[in-house]
Structure 1
Amino acid sequence: MKFNFLLLTLLFLGSIGYAQTKIGGYVKDTNGDPIPFVNVVFSNSSEGTITNDDGSYYIQSDKSYKSVVFSFIGFKSKKIDLESSTTYKMEIILEEEENALSEVVIYQGKTSKKNNPAIDILKKIWENRRENGVKKFDQYQFKKYEKQEFDLNTIDSSLVNSRIFNGMEFIFDQTDTNTVTGKTYLPIFINEAVYKVYGDNNLNEEKEVLLGNKNSGFSDNQTLIAFIKDLYADYNVYDNYLKFFDKSFVSPLSTTGVDNYNYVLADSTFIDNKWCYKIVYYPRRKNELTFKGDFWVNDTTWAIKNIKLQVTKSANINWVKEIYIEQDFKVLNDSVFLITRDHFMSDFAFNKKQESRGVYGKRTTLYDDYKFDIEKGSAFYKERADPYQEYVYDRDSTFWDNNRLEGLNKDEKQVYTMLDTLKTVKAFKRLYNIGSVLASGYIEFDNFDFGPIFSTFGYNDVEGIRVRMGGRTYFSRNDPWRIEGYTAYGFKDDKFKYGIAGKWLLDRRSRLIVSGGNRRDIEQLGASLTNTNDVLGRSLASSSLITVGSNTSLTDINLSTVSFELEPLKNFNIRIGGSYRTLKSASDQFSLAYFTDEARTQTTNEITQTEISTILSYSPGRKTSGYGVDRTIINDGDFARLFFNYSLGVKDLIDSDFDYKRVQFFYRQPWQVGGFGKLTSTFEAGKTFGEVPLGLLNVVPGNQTLFSIFGTFPLLDFYEFVTDSYTSLHIEHNFNGRFFSRIPIVRDWNLREIVSIRGVIGDISEENQLLNASTSNPVLFAPSEQVYWSYSVGVGNIFKVFRIDAHFRGNYFDNPGARSFGVTGSFGFYF
């Protein structure tokens, strides 16, 4: 979906604007070295910017200015007269002050932490730190208008004349220049939304009611809109760390800011009849997740009146060249500061070179009509309405004229009309279809999607080369029902396999869903400790093209399921279902055999089992998009997940073989550890009560592939450990380059250090061991004497897309074929 969003933005339309003064260029010292973080301000104004790491700058204004001033610690200020309203490639040379303290101060611009008036003001901000103004009242409500926009940037002749835009040249008729970066851009998508927000601080509740939504021609783009919104999540500049794109940036208002930023008291003046100080700040070191910019702060309440934040180009973040934030606040009753405007802009690109082409993502949020201490009661916040109100997406022009807190400019209005024309162009349709395939993995036909194409080929030791074809019904993203299926063929075992499943959303409010299906296939069981009977599920371990040693421990499975599920509370799901399955070995080199009599003289290699399960899952903080039977998770990996499963095996029900009870618990929690990166912990525990054969036991998941598979133990072979009770813990910490950023040369590679440790302890009863009839492959053995553990060290962000991990076994070296060391890798697009 992330790729879909980038690709969609390459396809659309036009814009215009007008600025009266534009300048850009570089600032260097007398040796020709660039000077970062130089203040560039139009004379006799507060409009300015700060140079980038490479000394480059760009600034524009709607006003006409005749001169600009360049200033920086340790250098003589320089005033330059402007001969024209547009001046690019200005190269400015700043000379050292004669009384500069030292070369370190001159070239690095370090400011003192002592006797610095700017830091004295910063301490006052800490002492009077406040939450957003609405938190000072028992209840609050306000209107919120949100405008999201995508722009294609760096428009030049090579792009305009590119063959990819044949037939769509008209979209380049009008372009404009971005006020932050100086790049030409072309608006290509816009979405508007109006909300009424209610909150109760005593109940710790907040409710957001969508009043209207309008976008540039996409009637079915809730996922795109929600994804964009999640990228620019809410934030509070007073917090020590601000989270964007799954990264924690140090706030310039942080109590640890003096260790990460230089601060300079630059100006003071009246703003809205309040005396305010202007503080300029910039990073102490390169490659860290920090900002540069300035803020105005009131001299009595020490509250922020205006703040600008811009991420430095050296920051260790992928696919994002620029992040620019600006917030404005108003004063209520001389004491409480309420946010009135929040603007967030990012420049997405494949690299950070100045000339690289990319996409601007912009979100502007305006707040108005504040009201306080109007009690609504707890029932108001708990009331669940139909989440999809169709009329909200069909508001007329009168509604938007009355509810926009900021009018659309000429260019934004043009987006709405231009897209309708573009959608009729064959070249556009062709590009759109390519983007859709790359994003979803499916080829779209009328009401049917073919795919996923990325699962077409696979390999394992039983099937050999495996080919697969499948598809699903698809009328819209909000389909109340869906049928999907596949068929596969293995060239080595010369057998066809298939799977088919269907589900129907009976009630959208409670998300009551009935589903069922059947699958006959070859599968690697035991690929995870905690699992469900997913009819169409398949693990990477079943079809990995590259493995460590041979793997014949695959199972021939015939699985039928039916279930009912509902969501009585947000992100809390209850599922009750039943399954019927037969399991048998898919290879003569692997055995699922068990004894069928007490004398242990008769065996069978096939298990027939009926099971009833109750599953409770809770995912606080999960964000989804769509209102149909299928929903898209838009913040995957960024929320906690709790899972509890109680299963009951029923003997003799539809020829079922065993009676047993099983309980399983899973808890996964990501933790943002400030400037030290992200830690993810996963805890699993389970127990099976009753006598069951190997096919129904809990296998500690090994990994014999060269790919990193979440939840597995990378140095264990399949079926190396088998349990009927287990406890497992996996902790992984990604430092996001915290230490690499301090090593010269290495820090320029933007690598990220990752460490992890895994452990599992379990047991298997004597009764279950005696039930097993296999004597060689596998031999049932559990890590009961001591915790099996291993640890890993890895390097991520190699060429921005690759991660490699080295794994070290901690014990159980005497196990047959035990691997003490291994390496796995993975690909992925991460910010």
Structure 2
Amino acid sequence: MTQKLLVYCCLFFYCSLFAQTKVGGRVIDESGEPIAFANVMFKENPTVGVITNDDGTFYLETDETYKVLTVSLLGFAAQDIDLTKKVTYNLEVVLTEGEQLDEVVVYFGKTSKKNNPAIDILKKIWAKKRDNGLNRFKQYEFDKYEKVEFDLNTIDSTLVNSKLFKGMEFIFKEVDTSSITGKTYLPMFINEAVYEVYGDNKLGKQVERLTGNRNSGFSSNQNIISFVQDLYSEYNIYNNYMVFFDKSFTSPLSKTGVDVYNYVLNDSTFIDNKWCYNIVYYPRRKNELTFKGDFWVNDTTFAVKNINLQVTRSANINWVKDIYIEQDFEVVNDSTFLLKRDYMMSDFSLNKKEKSRGIYGKRTTVYDNYVFDKEKPRSFYEAKVDPYNEKAYNRDDTFWENSRLEELNKDERKVYNMLDTLKTVPKFKRLYSLASILGSGYIEFDKMNFDFGPIFSTFGYNEREGVRVRAGGRTYFGQNDKWRIEGYTAYGFKDNQFKYGISGKILLDRKNRLIISAGNRRDIEQIGVSLTSTNDVLGRSFASSSVFTSGSNNTLTNINLSTVAVEFEPAKNLILKTQGSYRMLRSALPDIFSLSYVDSESLTGVENETNQLDIITSLEYTPKRKTIGYGVERRNVNDDYARYMVLYTGGLKGMVDSDFDYQKIQLYYRQPINIGGFGRLTSTIEAGKTFGEVPLSLLSVIPGNQTYFSIFNTFPNLDFYEFVTDSYVSLHLEHNFNGRLFSRIPFLRKLNWREIVGVRGAYGTLSDENIALSAPASIVLQAPDSKPYWEYSFGIGNIFKVFRIDFNFRGNYLDTPGARPFSVTGAFGFYF
């Protein structure tokens, strides 16, 4: 998330579109206070209108020419303003208390839930929603066209004349104006895609086949593309909640909407020969994740004809000033309304001030050519195809002219050529490179096909190495590379030793994602910080490189790890992997921390180093995960998917001097869930058992956390190696209320803090044989076997939008020597 939020700061460009009537301004009362949720419409056509923002501002634009603007609100005298010009900005409308015209029925304040005709209509929408749309048919097919655009907004003379754009002034020759906000903007990225969609409601199956895709701007940068893909969040206005940027917004059509929205029956008229009601809605309270807007609904099917939704300015969401959605539905026959056009605009900005500059992210989706009840066999929906259709990415202009379901305007057509020109400007290339470094953590050397980094891993500290510096890089020819080599070297100024790691992987079959990889690492690591871990050659332990730790960070291990692995994906998001690993493990600080074990064949009876050959087979399933890229590496677009994993490890004694023969089975489950308007719950369950006798270096350590950072899936009040097991089960629960509770407290409401609670526990056992086998002189081996160990925490997130602090309490085992009953940890990050 941090990378995605940093990425949008680098994007720029231009465009122009002129409507017939534009009007914007502010509505205030006689004392100068802003009036929120006032109704602003054209008197000649009351169906074209908006509701003022929290600060009383509004903007209205239409292709038609209108002469009179009507502004009204219950309890105030309505005003008709003559529009003498086609474009009128900075209009100030003062409403005075008094009678309101009978035909204007928009309310301010709380409306009644009883005897409210708007809510009576809403109940009928609930009853009919499963019978509307595509649900009416057994099978369906349609074409879908998507256009995603990013624009730099609020273009003024200060920006045009700034040193930042010196040498790039040509991009400002033409500037477009948003029909939603009235702000000027410069397009800087556009992506078009055409799909064929097939679905079967009886089978519960749907497939989407890409037939064409092209983009402009930063099309080769995976970080930017990943950020753009976030706008492809699927939402349904009929669902109770609509999820954007990991936040659940209550839909105005939700059954829970009556508790968070005010509803008013505002008007009725014919639309496409269908009698429709207009319902205006707005939030009952500030700071909650809600919308304001209106919708038109048919009087017989109670299907929505069109709807607009705008996130209220007070909503507890960071870096997004506005979210605006419009959906239009097509009348197919007397009883069927199908989605025709879906438009979504997000205004990304560092703050929510009206004149603040930011980035528009806009997505337009158009649907057409519906075909129904044309049955296809189940094999059609289950057939696995190559996800990368090279032909789809190389379509000519004729294809796009014939396949677009909505034409580009004249300035959108120029974006492709203009951005190609812009990227030849040396100054722009430098700005783009800087933004790319912040987003990806790598410095690109295009001519060498090499990236240096990650730069965020340059410095660290631990007891063995002292100050540690690290430098590395990777090959990079493009986002769909079939092979990649990466590596690093590190140096500790205290032990005066170099460390290194190198790995390589190659994609042999793209359809089934058959990948072979191998690598070697010699370094210092804090093992035992994860129960269900894989032997990632270039994995980096947070404990061995933390600058700040709680207590001595001296339980470190010298590791020499070599791996070779093969993996493939027999079904979507199902990965089967087999890996051979050889590890040489010994204490990095033997005078303080021991990894020795009893060995009757040793001359001293004790062996200080473990040599171990393992064969690890894992099965991982991540349903609903979305990715980008078709090469050997892919990037996740979303993070709301479940993760299931099963690992089997077999130790082979005797082969290449391997020391132990054992088996280990481990299970892992992680699930983030958005619980409606109550926030987001993340849960993790892990379980495992080791069969056979193994020393401390191969046992399962309950992961402690001696850093000052809040790290999920660790126990912040446990020291490293405080609990060691050969059989275990662990549970972690963390719930972020996203400010729902604090929003009810007046003096906390404006801070937009978010309350976080966590509970975690672990139970495990350790056999007497394994205790006897290990010979550590520095720690006492014990497991939480008399009762489960548990902790709980209370946290506050979104402090100054970027900080989080957690107060952690130890629930039991308080009599353990050196036990930490309380700790404070924190985190830094950019989150929506």
Q: Give the TM interval when normalised to the shorter protein.
A: over 0.9
Label 1:69 to 1:6 Cα distance change in 2 as closer, same or farther (>3 A). farther
Label 1:107 to 1:824 Cα distance change in 2 as closer, same or farther (>3 A). farther
Alignment of 1:612 with 2:601, yes or no, is no
Alignment of 1:512 with 2:519, yes or no, is no
For residues 598 and 498 of structure 1, the distance between their equivalents in structure 2, rounded to whole angstroms, comes to 32
What corresponds to 2:430 in structure 1? 430
Answer yes or no: is the 8 Å Cα contact 1:485–1:499 preserved in 2.
yes
For residues 365 and 6 of structure 1, the distance between their equivalents in structure 2, rounded to whole angstroms, comes to 26
**Deviation larger for 47-56 or 225-234:** 225-234
For residues 713 and 214 of structure 1, the distance between their equivalents in structure 2, rounded to whole angstroms, comes to 47
What corresponds to 2:18 in structure 1? 18
The offset of 1:627, in angstroms, is 0.5
What corresponds to 1:570 in structure 2? 572
**Deviation larger for 787-796 or 61-70:** 61-70
What corresponds to 1:759 in structure 2? 761
Answer yes or no: is the 8 Å Cα contact 2:474–2:484 preserved in 1.
yes
What corresponds to 2:27 in structure 1? 27
Label 1:218 to 1:774 Cα distance change in 2 as closer, same or farther (>3 A). closer
Alignment of 1:265 with 2:268, yes or no, is no
Label 1:586 to 1:179 Cα distance change in 2 as closer, same or farther (>3 A). same
- CA deviations over 1:7-42 (Å, ceiling 9, x no partner): 467444220110222222211222322110000001
Residue type at the aligned position of 1:813:
L
For residues 729 and 67 of structure 1, the distance between their equivalents in structure 2, rounded to whole angstroms, comes to 63
- CA deviations over 1:625-652 (Å, ceiling 9, x no partner): 100001111113x111011100000100
- CA deviations over 1:62-81 (Å, ceiling 9, x no partner): 22221111111222211111
For residues 312 and 503 of structure 1, the distance between their equivalents in structure 2, rounded to whole angstroms, comes to 48
What corresponds to 2:93 in structure 1? 92
What corresponds to 2:243 in structure 1? 243
After the TM superposition, which residues 692-703 of structure 1 pair with which residues of structure 2 at under 5 Å, given as runs? 692-703=694-705
Answer yes or no: is the 8 Å Cα contact 2:2–2:831 preserved in 1.
no
Answer yes or no: is the 8 Å Cα contact 1:223–1:634 preserved in 2.
no
Label 1:222 to 1:457 Cα distance change in 2 as closer, same or farther (>3 A). closer
- 1:631 pairs, out of 631, 634, 638, with 634
For residues 202 and 226 of structure 1, the distance between their equivalents in structure 2, rounded to whole angstroms, comes to 33
The offset of 1:123, in angstroms, is 1.6
Q: Secondary structure at the match of 1:718?
A: coil
Q: Given the two structures, how large is their TM-score scaled by the length of structure 2?
A: 0.97
Answer yes or no: is the 8 Å Cα contact 2:75–2:97 preserved in 1.
yes
**Deviation larger for 44-53 or 219-228:** 219-228
The offset of 1:203, in angstroms, is 1.6
For residues 786 and 2 of structure 2, the distance between their equivalents in structure 1, rounded to whole angstroms, comes to 46
Answer yes or no: is the 8 Å Cα contact 1:610–1:656 preserved in 2.
yes
For residues 422 and 4 of structure 1, the distance between their equivalents in structure 2, rounded to whole angstroms, comes to 23
Alignment of 1:811 with 2:822, yes or no, is no
The offset of 1:84, in angstroms, is 2.1
The offset of 1:779, in angstroms, is 1.2
The offset of 1:98, in angstroms, is 6.0
Q: Secondary structure at the match of 1:645?
A: strand
Residue type at the aligned position of 1:332:
V
Residue type at the aligned position of 1:630:
E
Label 1:191 to 1:623 Cα distance change in 2 as closer, same or farther (>3 A). same
Aligned residues: 825
After the TM superposition, which residues 72-151 of structure 1 pair with which residues of structure 2 at under 5 Å, given as runs? 72-97=73-98, 109-130=109-130, 133-151=133-151
**Deviation larger for 376-385 or 586-595:** 376-385
Give RMSD over aligned pairs.
1.8
Residue type at the aligned position of 2:592:
Q
Q: Given the two structures, how large is their TM-score scaled by the length of structure 1?
A: 0.97
Alignment of 1:396 with 2:396, yes or no, is yes
For residues 348 and 170 of structure 1, the distance between their equivalents in structure 2, rounded to whole angstroms, comes to 25
Residue type at the aligned position of 2:172:
F
What corresponds to 1:349 in structure 2? 349
Residue type at the aligned position of 2:254:
S
Answer yes or no: is the 8 Å Cα contact 2:505–2:515 preserved in 1.
yes
Alignment of 1:418 with 2:418, yes or no, is yes
For residues 466 and 457 of structure 1, the distance between their equivalents in structure 2, rounded to whole angstroms, comes to 6
Answer yes or no: is the 8 Å Cα contact 2:238–2:254 preserved in 1.
yes
Answer yes or no: is the 8 Å Cα contact 1:74–1:106 preserved in 2.
no
Residue type at the aligned position of 2:612:
Q
Answer yes or no: is the 8 Å Cα contact 2:598–2:606 preserved in 1.
yes
What corresponds to 1:547 in structure 2? 549
- 1:661 pairs, out of 663, 669, 685, with 663
Q: Secondary structure at the match of 1:40?
A: strand
- 1:649 pairs, out of 651, 664, 675, with 651
For residues 220 and 94 of structure 1, the distance between their equivalents in structure 2, rounded to whole angstroms, comes to 52
Residue type at the aligned position of 1:116:
N
Residue type at the aligned position of 2:49:
G
For residues 230 and 525 of structure 2, the distance between their equivalents in structure 1, rounded to whole angstroms, comes to 36
What corresponds to 1:254 in structure 2? 254
Q: Secondary structure at the match of 1:306?
A: strand
For residues 7 and 617 of structure 1, the distance between their equivalents in structure 2, rounded to whole angstroms, comes to 30
- CA deviations over 1:641-680 (Å, ceiling 9, x no partner): 0111000001001100011000111100111110100111
The offset of 1:114, in angstroms, is 1.9
Q: Secondary structure at the match of 1:529?
A: coil
The offset of 1:332, in angstroms, is 2.5
Answer yes or no: is the 8 Å Cα contact 1:131–1:238 preserved in 2.
no
What corresponds to 1:55 in structure 2? 56
Label 1:161 to 1:246 Cα distance change in 2 as closer, same or farther (>3 A). same
The offset of 1:541, in angstroms, is 1.0
- CA deviations over 1:421-442 (Å, ceiling 9, x no partner): 1111101111111111111111
For residues 620 and 744 of structure 1, the distance between their equivalents in structure 2, rounded to whole angstroms, comes to 41
The offset of 1:413, in angstroms, is 0.5
Answer yes or no: is the 8 Å Cα contact 2:7–2:227 preserved in 1.
no
What corresponds to 1:827 in structure 2? 828
What corresponds to 1:379 in structure 2? 379
What corresponds to 2:494 in structure 1? 492
- CA deviations over 1:746-804 (Å, ceiling 9, x no partner): 111111000000000000000000111123x2210100000100000000011111110
Answer yes or no: is the 8 Å Cα contact 2:528–2:720 preserved in 1.
yes
Q: List alignment gaps of at least 5 residues for structure 1.
A: none
Answer yes or no: is the 8 Å Cα contact 2:289–2:311 preserved in 1.
yes
Q: Secondary structure at the match of 1:228?
A: helix
Label 1:694 to 1:614 Cα distance change in 2 as closer, same or farther (>3 A). same
For residues 688 and 751 of structure 2, the distance between their equivalents in structure 1, rounded to whole angstroms, comes to 43
For residues 274 and 783 of structure 1, the distance between their equivalents in structure 2, rounded to whole angstroms, comes to 68
The offset of 1:167, in angstroms, is 1.1
What corresponds to 2:443 in structure 1? 443
Residue type at the aligned position of 2:706:
Q
Report sequence identity in percent: 66
Alignment of 1:795 with 2:799, yes or no, is no
The offset of 1:219, in angstroms, is 5.0
Residue type at the aligned position of 2:407:
G
For residues 401 and 341 of structure 2, the distance between their equivalents in structure 1, rounded to whole angstroms, comes to 19
Answer yes or no: is the 8 Å Cα contact 2:8–2:224 preserved in 1.
no
